Structure 1
Amino acid sequence: MPASVTSASRRRFLALLGGSAAAVTLAGCGAAAAAGSGGGGQTKKLRYQGWAGQVLLPELAQDLGYFGDVTLDWVGDTISGPQDIQSAATGQVDFGGAFNGAVVKLAAQHAPVKAVISYYGVDRYSYNGFYVRQDSPIRSGRDLIGAKVGVNTLGAHDEAMLDIYLKRQGLSPAEIAQVEPVVLPPVSTEQALRQKQIEVAVLGGVLRDKALATGGIRPLFTDYQLLGAFSAGTYVMTERFLRQNPDTARTFVTGTAMAIEWARTTPREQVVARMTDIVHKRGRNENATPLKYFQSFGVAETGGRITDAEFQLWLDWLAGRGTVPKGSVTAASLYTNQYNAYRSGS
């Protein structure tokens, strides 16, 4: 891996979000107003970005009939969570989802957004592992000094987990700085590990299962081992959209919450079959094969309700890095559960 690429890219994610406030200002309120249906009525159509080959919880909710007369309007696929929530903040779409640390960063740049429901997380089925080769001498955090760690995005979930792990292993800030996260496409990370271009590969989902089935690698740690079960990402909407469309927002959030619980309580084979059918029906020329490895969305709280703790973790991490000034943003100001009418058994 060229040194120029790895050194230059370390903070690319935070630089991207650093421009979010300017993007919101340039977009103004006009784009957000486009979400309205005109005539003072609430919009019944929600523009959004998808992920190729995946079924989002709102897509599942719509297919299950949980949105009533509210419909989804797919405008294309996103390239990342940070890009998705920036598009929501500028009014290009009506909701977007990302890792909670990205939501903190965007809010700290004064983007007028609120997290409204958790949509993915970590549990014993859905997790990322930090893997080394079977013959690797790396056995502890201290062994990572000078090592390259393949991650999918800088400044996001994987780098946060790595930092937390290294701190718990007793490394100093100077020592942690010598561990180098390297951005790699997820589909290439396993190969880079096996070819010894990196010392550690972060793998999750089908890519993790495939690599483990091939053999020759072992886990150093996983985010589930590190922190247990927790919700890691949320969908956001602009405050303006929520003010103008409260009933639509409530339908969206509550329907998504119902889909979370449907997926949690329905046999996995039925969930996989339903999502595979959704991919086939929408006709986007996608490969639905990876869906057969689906295990869980990993959302911790019932119905995706959000708690302070899910944001405080990232507030502390970003403040420790000097990315977000300590005390400039509070966990409670980042989210609302008022549009989530789901209750157990409802």
Structure 2
Amino acid sequence: MQITKRALLLAAALMLAFAGVPVKAQPAEKPRLALGVGGKPLLYYLPLTVAERKGFFKDEGLDVSINDFGGGAKSLQALVGGSVDVVTGAYEHTIRMQAKGQDIVSVIELGRFPGIVLVARKDRPITSVKDLKGAKIGVTAPGSSTNFFVSFLLAREGLKPEDVAFVGVGGGASAVAQMKRGEIDAMSNLDPVITKLESDGDVVVLADSRTEAGNEKIFGGANPAAVLYMKRDFIERNPVTTQKLVNAFHRALVWLKTATPEDVAAVVPEEYLLGDRALYMAAVKNSLPVYSRTGLIPEQGMKNALKMLVEFDPELKAAAIDLPRTFDDRFVKAVPAGK
């Protein structure tokens, strides 16, 4: 077998990245890169905002341009289409894309719980998931993790995604406004949107994945949420860049372990507070348990995610999914001590 020059260069780069040579001393192959995200103000993506605002990307020598899309499905489309290099998005997308023949891989877990909450307007006759038949349900974007969450819950009640109407509402003030105006009957969304609606007395909670107990009840255990994912060939071409990205995100996770709601509110942009700093801090308090403690996705978490998707996705029921290929743990394990 003939070994190409490119293969030798890749092998050498990987050896440098994982063989004790300090990554900081190595130049990133791609120091300027585009990152996609679907709803950056959501607390689901707080580790990204922390890494950006605290200067962790810059400390790694990276110039990261963040492209905020209306939902996770749109940022995934941008990755597949080549307009972004990497994405912070739901882990489930790595599974679904493998079934479609796309080799998308996650490299660090940012959220160990989805943190997604399904709520219904108080003035609607909806008190449980089975009452949602025929309802208009807001999600951050069709095909996003908030959409998957509802589809899974519907399937457990014998309902199909076609039994409801999904409406993309985004993940910020517009989502709150559409619920308040009565344009939708229910919503699957995240904090601070959910805490705002709860605080104002507009909704009742039907399912809540912000806590360990909630995840146990819904999924039977942890279910990985936000991750950093990319095409496998990006990793192969840019192992040092990938390591630097993981270093920055891991540093954000470490910071969040001891951060208070006040610390978080002081870091994020003013517009993320939805005009109410106290309410935002309450939302942060509700969401702090969701962030990953290690950056590593446990095997059972991967299995829970696949089990959820298979429940309502016929394509996945027929697919042979290689779960270990959805997560490359080498980079988290190679994070330097103290980061």
TM-score by length of 2: 0.71
Give how far 1:211 is off.
Answer: 1.9
Letter in 2 for 1:81: G
1:168-209: CA deviations, max 9, x gaps?
4xx3356x6423333334444444445544332234312222
**Greater Cα offset, 93-102 or 222-231:** 222-231
Aligned match of 1:249: 242
* Map 1:158-197 → 2, pairs under 5 A: 158-168=146-156, 171-173=157-159, 177-186=162-171, 187-197=173-183
Return the alpha-carbon distance in structure 2 between the equivalents of residues 78 and 140 of structure 1.
31
Q: In structure 1, which of residues 199, 206, 212 is the aligned counterpart of residue 192 of structure 2?
A: 206
Aligned match of 1:215: 201
Alignment of 1:331 with 2:335, yes or no, is no
Aligned match of 1:22: none
Q: 1:118 to 1:319 in 2, by over 3 A?
A: same
Q: In structure 2, which of residues 47, 51, 59 is the aligned counterpart of residue 61 of structure 1?
A: 51
Q: CA RMSD in A?
A: 3.6
Q: In structure 1, which of residues 72, 75, 79 is the aligned counterpart of residue 63 of structure 2?
A: 72
Give yes or no for contact 2:99–2:315 (8 Å, CA) kept in 1: no
Give yes or no for contact 1:151–1:159 (8 Å, CA) kept in 2: yes
Q: In structure 1, which of residues 138, 145, 150 is the aligned counterpart of residue 126 of structure 2?
A: 138
Q: 1:318 to 1:214 in 2, by over 3 A?
A: closer
Aligned match of 1:284: none
Q: 1:182 to 1:135 in 2, by over 3 A?
A: same
* Map 1:241-280 → 2, pairs under 5 A: 241-276=234-269
Letter in 1 for 2:250: A
| DSSP 3-state at the match of 1:231 | coil
Give yes or no for contact 2:40–2:49 (8 Å, CA) kept in 1: no
Aligned match of 1:25: none
Q: 1:67 to 1:342 in 2, by over 3 A?
A: farther
Give how far 1:114 is off.
Answer: 1.6
Alignment of 1:45 with 2:31, yes or no, is yes
Q: Which runs of 5+ in 2 are unaligned?
A: 1-12, 14-25
| DSSP 3-state at the match of 1:132 | strand
**Greater Cα offset, 246-255 or 71-80:** 71-80
Return the alpha-carbon distance in structure 1 between the equivalents of residues 148 and 300 of structure 2.
15
Give yes or no for contact 2:104–2:231 (8 Å, CA) kept in 1: yes
**Identical-residue share of aligned pairs (%):** 20
Give yes or no for contact 1:98–1:235 (8 Å, CA) kept in 2: yes
Return the alpha-carbon distance in structure 2 between the equivalents of residues 216 and 42 of structure 1.
48
Letter in 1 for 2:169: L
Alignment of 1:82 with 2:73, yes or no, is yes
Give how far 1:232 is off.
Answer: 0.9
Give how far 1:334 is off.
Answer: 1.0
Give yes or no for contact 1:151–1:158 (8 Å, CA) kept in 2: yes
Return the alpha-carbon distance in structure 1 between the equivalents of residues 158 and 80 of structure 2.
37
| DSSP 3-state at the match of 1:102 | helix
Give yes or no for contact 2:107–2:246 (8 Å, CA) kept in 1: yes
| DSSP 3-state at the match of 1:339 | helix
Return the alpha-carbon distance in structure 1 between the equivalents of residues 268 and 178 of structure 2.
31
| DSSP 3-state at the match of 2:321 | coil
Give how far 1:66 is off.
Answer: 6.8
1:121-147: CA deviations, max 9, x gaps?
537xxx333222334332223322332
Letter in 2 for 1:256: F
